[in-house]
Structure 1
Amino acid sequence: MLTKEELASIKELQNICEQADGFQLKLNFDMLENREGKEKEDFFHYEDGKLVGFLGSYGFGNKVELCGMVHPDYRRRGIFTKLLALGLEDSKRRRFQTILLNAPTDSQSAKEFLKNIPCTFSVAEYQMKWKKTDLIEDPAVTLRLSTTAEDFETEVQLEVLAFGFEEEESRKFNLKLRESHSDEHFIIEADGKAAGKMRVAESDGEAWIYGFAVFPKLQGKGIGRKALSKIVKLEDQKGLSVFLEVEAKNAHALKLYESCGFRSYHSQDYYFYQK
């Protein structure tokens, strides 16, 4: 587990880097705050007792994402190269099938750095924030907390169908989420039957929606839009700003989110590391 001091140092370094560079880093603080401590997933570089370099490793089933940063005053000294080597070595040891390197789309320094790494562009991901707009109300589509073994199995199957997980990987991933995160897991129901799922993480005045999926056979019927409208309204009533992420190539999801009032404000690029 990361200590409060380590988390505070990471956040401080993140703020310095973002202010200097003018873009946002995706450091998955919901995951950093819930590290189990079973694996070494975070790598630090200190100078004179001050954190000046950090790289985080974030596992999702059979893939892992690596993202990091170096203090502007300490760049071009090989610090990030060393941190990345540690992260890659650990990812290979843990036998992840896919390693993705994550960098802000607008970071020219990241693009230059990655030219020297054996990797290829994979996909862009948009971060989206909800802007107040009218939302659809439909009592036929409801949300309830996921509480039973049957609900868990529904979530496992949706990860397989919607996100390409292998079933065993999906099972392990969802167990880990429940053990290490305080997020709320919801089952979407349409006409009283399970139709989809989503997960919501609340922190620092923000609500982030993750793992949003509807069974393929039920897509195109407005269920997703109605469920999303319900959760957005619920979080907005709590006084929270609402966010989510979507891959740029997923045009259907992008259109759905925009129809509910979400607008893109930032993007991240992902690169396949060629082992």
Structure 2
Amino acid sequence: MLTKEELKNIKTLQEICEKEGKLQLKLNFNMLESRSENRKEDFFHYEDDKLIGFLGSYYFGNKVEICGMVHPDYRRRGIFSKLLEEALEEAKKREARTILLNAPSESQSAKEFLKNIPCTLSMVEYQMKWEKVSELSDDQTLTVRPSISGDDSEAEIQLDVQCFGLNEKEARQYRLETKDLDTDARLIIEVDGKIVGKMRLSEMNGEAWIFGFAVFPELQGKGIGRKALSKVVKMEGEKGFSIFLEVEAKNAHALRLYESCGFRSYHSQEYYEVNV
């Protein structure tokens, strides 16, 4: 579990690196603030009691995403390589099936570093922000409610299997690992009392982020996703939150859906799969 001082140091270093590189790092603070005490997921490098390098690993079942940074004045000294070596060793111990290195698309220093790593570009992910372009409809035939029961949890697991390519063991492990994120709300989408989809909503620092949005494949193309997204966007907008989500670039259907609901891309992240 990270201390308040460690979180503060990470945030300070992040601000320095982002300002210098004119970019945005994906450090998943909602997950950093809810770390388990008995897992080695974060790696630090200090010099003279000052945080110089940090690397965070984020597990989703048997997949791990890794993102890190080094202070601009301390680069090219092997600091990031050392942190990455520690994180990769831990990932092997935990039998991670897929290891992804995450870098902002505009980061030239990351691209130079990745030339020396046995990895291949796996995907590009867009960050999107909702911009009010018209009034959103609020369809009363569809309900979005908290996930509270065992049946709800089972539906979430099956949606992760059918929509995100996890096997059942990975989906159950991921559900267990993320169940205690304090900033997150798990939401179930229902139509006529039947579970049809789900999403996760994270509220932090005036921002609401939508994650894990899925509708059962056999029910897609019926307007359910648009109605559910509109309902949640309207709800969060009325609370005064800025609203964000992420979508893989090659998922053209989801990209069109989000754009039609008023979301616009403003940033992208590249994910490189480590060849181990």
Answer whether TM exceeds 0.5 for this pair: yes
Aligned to 2:178: 177
SS state of the match for residue 178, structure 1? coil
Structure 2: runs of 5+ lacking an equivalent? none
Aligned to 1:70: 70
Structure 1 residue 182, shift from structure 2 partner: 3.9
The correspondence of residues 40-59 of structure 1 with structure 2, limited to 5 A, is: 40-59=40-59
Q: Deviations over 1:79-135 (max 9, x none)?
A: 111111111111111100000010010111111110000000110000111101321
Aligned to 1:89: 89
SS state of the match for residue 81, structure 2? helix
Q: Deviations over 1:215-263 (max 9, x none)?
A: 0010000000000000011111111111110000100000100011111
Structure 1 residue 176, shift from structure 2 partner: 2.0
SS state of the match for residue 2, structure 1? coil
Tell me, in whole angstroms, the C-alpha distance in 2 between the residues paired with 1:2 and 1:137. Answer: 40
| Matched-pair contact (CA < 8 Å) for 1:36–1:180 | no
Aligned to 1:194: 195
Aligned to 2:165: 164
In the alignment, residue 237 of structure 2 is paired with which amino acid? D
Tell me, in whole angstroms, the C-alpha distance in 1 between the residues paired with 2:184 and 2:112. Answer: 37
Structure 1 residue 175, shift from structure 2 partner: 2.0
Aligned to 1:261: 262
Aligned to 1:27: 27
Structure 1 residue 179, shift from structure 2 partner: 2.8
Aligned to 2:15: 15
In the alignment, residue 171 of structure 2 is paired with which amino acid? S
1:225 aligns with 2:226: yes
Aligned to 1:125: 125
Tell me, in whole angstroms, the C-alpha distance in 2 between the residues paired with 1:18 and 1:125. Answer: 18
Q: Deviations over 1:191-236 (max 9, x none)?
A: 3211100110111001111110000010000000000000011111
Tell me, in whole angstroms, the C-alpha distance in 1 between the residues paired with 2:73 and 2:261. Answer: 42
Tell me, in whole angstroms, the C-alpha distance in 1 between the residues paired with 2:143 and 2:94. Answer: 39
Q: Which moved more, 1:170-179 or 1:126-135?
A: 170-179
Identity within the alignment, %: 67
Kindly report the root-mean-square deviation, in angstroms, between the aligned alpha carbons of the 2 structures: 0.9
**How many residues of Structure 1 are paired with residues of Structure 2 in the alignment?**
275
| Matched-pair contact (CA < 8 Å) for 2:157–2:172 | yes
Tell me, in whole angstroms, the C-alpha distance in 2 between the residues paired with 1:94 and 1:172. Answer: 12
Question: 4+ residue stretches of structure 1 with deviation over 4 A?
Answer: none
The correspondence of residues 89-168 of structure 1 with structure 2, limited to 5 A, is: 89-133=89-133, 134-168=135-169
Tell me, in whole angstroms, the C-alpha distance in 2 between the residues paired with 1:160 and 1:270. Answer: 21
Structure 1 residue 136, shift from structure 2 partner: 2.5
Structure 1 residue 32, shift from structure 2 partner: 0.3
Tell me, in whole angstroms, the C-alpha distance in 2 between the residues paired with 1:175 and 1:26. Answer: 22
